[in-house]
Structure 1
């Protein structure tokens, strides 16, 4: 046997000799009737060798990569019968708080330590958004919008959106005037089914969406509006789809070029995602056209007007590219980010109140001591409703709606805690692990609002190990709005009603373990019972 380093040279010399010296080849014909077969065999062996060498170098594990699962060429490490959450726990258990996991052509870095997560997500080289198919399909594979765009386009588009939305009330106490009517509308819907088992999803979803509509398009819809309910269902469907089989295209992008269309559409539901995206665009384009006809330049009513004002200036030095597609993508981003997260967290809260009636009673006693029954709570009451605020933080902790955060992209080889994160790798922040880390929580598995109460009886909104809205450059821009909505909806509903499990049933506040990216609470029905007696604190 020749050394591997010399086998390539040897085989190439043999083939060259045979091709350039036909008389020698003929000379050996009497010795064997299968010389051509030998030539073919040599060529096959040579091809196999070259393929082996290429696979070896292309599959080489990067130096100083965090420990983890590497697996086989092309496919990486994907063979496990465990549910995805258990695989994540095993990865952390086996390899520590910084672990790697190669799936397909992607290297994923899982970070499970609170301090390291803060350091990593604040690093400029880990500020990219993952270039996943399931993300980019909603932006038409363009670097636009404010959620999955990258670079200066993302920075300036996000800054522009936040500045203008703030002008229309986002994050300000004045937004209460928009939220309270939606709170009252939800309470009226609950009253219609008082004492009967009910799902709260549709009524809540429209109420939350109306708040975003007011900021973005200066519109408001009836709680039973079929069109708006359709769009809400599309948003929920997209949340389901992006954590389904289409994720294979995120980690094995070459599958898009070899799989038959029926697999891509029927199994991965790409056609449904495209349909929902295009339907949103058509509807929002109509609204933009209406704004163009009715707007008063430089006197914006909402975000669309503000965007059109800026676009009309035709400033070549403006910080990001303004065009209709970017506006449509941004509108969708705002609706998706601003509706599903808030409504899902509220549904978690209702489930927890049914499961933990002692906590609910304590919250109601606090509300009764602070707020007169002839009005709903408002933001001025917030400072005096500390246990309520602590309970909502505990909902965020327990629910951990985005358990692994939104995937980040490493844009340059980056040193982190003694390891090198390769360019192009995906970083996942294990927020769920932080939220259940006994280093930070007295009773990690228990629903215990006192986790957020300090020695003075005040609620701690910010504390170690708590990352409900992520951290760093991609911290959720709607945190203030989400907290405001959740406080006003929760305080009003619990002031007016007691949440109970239906007779003979037991609600279990838990998520579906088959969901990979988002923690939606399992569907349930509850009974809202009108409160007629004030609880004495």
Structure 2
């Protein structure tokens, strides 16, 4: 959920927009001023702003043994995060009650309706695990892990395309050829959109939103790369550094979608040194959904819009400071024009 402004200039035929933006209509003014929406947006932003603090004890678990609980809460903002979590759950509680009051069991509208129906159908089942608390936590997961991550990746993509206009032109040319205007991409279109797939993968590599993967623990004594790893050691992988490792990637600091294409221009996925969704049994459960969303949203945006750096301004491709664990973009102005 992003706020945006639209400016219609008398001396141009196109709508000029200040990014971020998700909806655009030609020659109209928009303003996201709904107090409830703004409150919800602030909750989400505040949660992400605290990640840089609350994640530290997860990476350094021994801190729990040397620092009192009240110091941990203050020092790493754990108390503030818990308060934000409760505020979020209260917000969702109101939505659940609205859904319950207007529920049509024959026509579920969304996940909340479906979950409430399932709760009711299973209420007499002793093995029932569908409870309202889990519904609220599920919605929290969807927004924090399943929504904000995808939207941040899309914004990173648009920042890169604005900075590298030739890549944007190639992507648009491919989309125009494969998808008639107004046609939404589907998974069946992926083989015909190799350059678009390359842009998506290069964005995932360069942005490396989840800078570090989820922690694991060594189940036995082992050695790796000449280092001894005792049983019980907490292990993590630094995704952002692997994605920018010059031993694995040619000119890793460059945004170059062509690295994902073979000599025939076909998409060629690389396994080594690339794991934006982690790997193994506990890799991101939402990977398939995220990839589908990135394909559909990116092609839809590029079908109708051009993205550029505003005249006289610069665009930073460095992540927001102060949060080493989640690499969010720095909010900046972007010039968006409707394609003729």
Q: Is the shorter-chain TM-score for this pair beyond 0.5, marking a shared fold?
A: yes
What residue number does 2:272 align with?
464
Structure 2 gaps of 5+ residues are 25-30
Do structure 1's residue 392 and structure 2's residue 212 form an aligned pair?
no
Say if 1:304 and 1:449 are closer, same or farther in 2 by CA, change over 3 A: same
Answer with 1 or 2: which has the greater Rg. 1
Residue 378 (structure 1) aligns with: 185
The separation in 2 between residues aligned to 1:439 and 1:245, in whole angstroms, is 32
Moved more, 499-508 or 291-300: 291-300
Q: Which runs of 5+ in 1 are unaligned?
A: 1-181, 208-221, 533-537
How many residues are paired up? 321
RMSD, aligned α-carbons: 3.3
Taking a change above 3 Å as real, the CA distance of residues 273 and 368 of structure 1, as seen in their structure-2 partners, is same
Match of residue 255 from structure 1: 67
Quick one: distance in 2 between partners of 1:490 and 1:431?
23
Name the one with the larger helix percent: 1
Whole-Å separation in 1 of the counterparts to 2:339 and 2:288 = 30
* Range with greater deviation from structure 2 (462-471 or 292-301): 292-301
Matches within 5 A, 1:138-287: 196=16, 198-200=18-20, 203-204=21-22, 225-244=34-53, 247=56, 251=61, 252-253=63-64, 254-257=66-69, 259=71, 264=73, 268-287=76-95
Structure 1 residues 232 and 369, CA, compared in 2 at 3 Å: closer, same or farther? Answer: same
- Measure the CA separation in 1 of the matches of 2:105 and 2:176: 47
> Where do 1:487-506 residues align within 5 Å?
487-506=295-314
Q: Is the 8 A contact 1:243 1:516 kept in 2?
A: yes
Aligned mates of 2:90, 2:279 — CA distance in 1: 34
On the 8 A contact 1:376/1:495 being kept in 2, the answer is: no
Q: Output the CA distance in 1 between the equivalents of 2:8 and 2:278.
A: 38
Matches within 5 A, 1:403-482: 403-410=211-218, 412-413=219-220, 415=222, 417=224, 419-423=228-232, 425-461=233-269, 463-482=271-290
Deviation at 1:258, TM superposition (A): 5.3
Aligned to 2:318: 510
2:305 is the alignment partner of 1:485: no
- Residue-by-residue CA offset, 1:401-457 (whole Å, 9 max, x unaligned): 1121133345x445464844432x322122223312334323322111112112332
Scaled by the length of structure 2, the TM-score of the pair is 0.80
The answer for the alignment partner of 2:27 in structure 1 is none
**Aligned partners of 1:192 and 1:376: how far apart in 2?**
27
TM-score for both structures, normalised by structure 1? 0.53
Other-structure match for 2:162: 354
2:177 pairs with one of 365, 369, 380: 369
Partner Cα distance (1:491, 1:300) in 2: 29
After superposition, give the CA deviation of every residue in 1:115-135 in whole Å (9 maximum; x if it has no partner): xxxxxxxxxxxxxxxxxxxxx
